Amino acid sequence: MKAAELRELSVEDLKAKIDEESKALDTFVLNHAVSPIENPNVIKTKRRLVARLKTILNEKEQA
């Protein structure tokens, strides 16, 4: 998702999305530690998505 699409979400939706993506990231990292996954760039993409979500959530909470 693009940042513009994420900014349209409500605070509750952002928190739910952060939880969902964080769990997915943890799963990818664990699976990659056990045996290499096919596309390790997914880990970087998920990590950046979680950071983007947290940034947008922080902006909304401060506004």
CATH (domain of 25): 1.10.287
pLDDT tens sequence across 4-59:
999 999 999 999 999 999 999 999 999 999 999 999 999 999 999 999 999 999 99
Total domains present in the chain: 1
Show the domain range for 18: 3-62
3-state secondary structure of 54: helix
Alpha-carbon gap, residue 8 to 25, rounded angstroms? 23
- Report yes or no: 62 and 11 within 8 Å, Cβ to Cβ: no
For residue 50, give the nearest of 12, 19, 28, 13 by alpha carbon.
Answer: 19
Alpha-carbon gap, residue 22 to 26, rounded angstroms? 6
- pTM comes to 0.91
